Amino acid sequence: WMQPTKVGKSMLTLTDTHYIRRDPYGVVLIIGPWNYPVQLLGNPLIGAIAGGNTTLLKPSEIAPATAKALTDLIPKYLDQRTVQVFNGGPKETSDLLKEKFDFIFYTGSTLVGKIVMEAASKHLTPVLLELGGKCPVYVDSEVNLDMAAKRLAWRKTLNFGQTCVAP
């Protein structure tokens, strides 16, 4: 599936050869959050591996049991030449961000997202930021207020309220 795929031509490009070429970025840094720590490291890891990249995972120091589990399990089940786990707090992460990566995937706060973006800009590294934020809810006079309240309460307490898109 990594082979180039030919695509159609237009009147402007009849004499050209068109194809989509899938190239790995190279070394990908994935910085995960404390909430959903396995899912929000694992999902981008799957894409990074499928794309042919090597990956450095940085689990949140606020979820130490998960960070330890990943540190123990990743080398047991994945090739250590292509996937590594790096642990540490804010200072270690700041030091890590001084290094050049080919792509950075960050999930977390807007404040730290700005730090990640600034560090990446020094190397012109592409970044995907998945940032938490405000999730306002508007309830107008047309809704069933009892049903709206139940649904909002359910969504707000999903994952014990530790969801970045909670209303």
Residues annotated catalytic, as ranges? 130, 164
**How many other β-carbons are positioned within 10 Å of the β-carbon of residue 23?**
10
Per-residue DSSP letter, 35? S
- Pairing between β-strand 19-20 and β-strand 83-85 as defined by DSSP bridges: unpaired
Q: Which of 134, 19, 156, 28 is nearest to 83 (CA)?
A: 28
Residues with Cβ within 8 Å of 45's Cβ and at least 6 positions away in sequence, in order, are 30, 55, 57, 83
Burial (Cβ within 10 Å: 0-12, 13-18, ≥19) of residue 167: middle
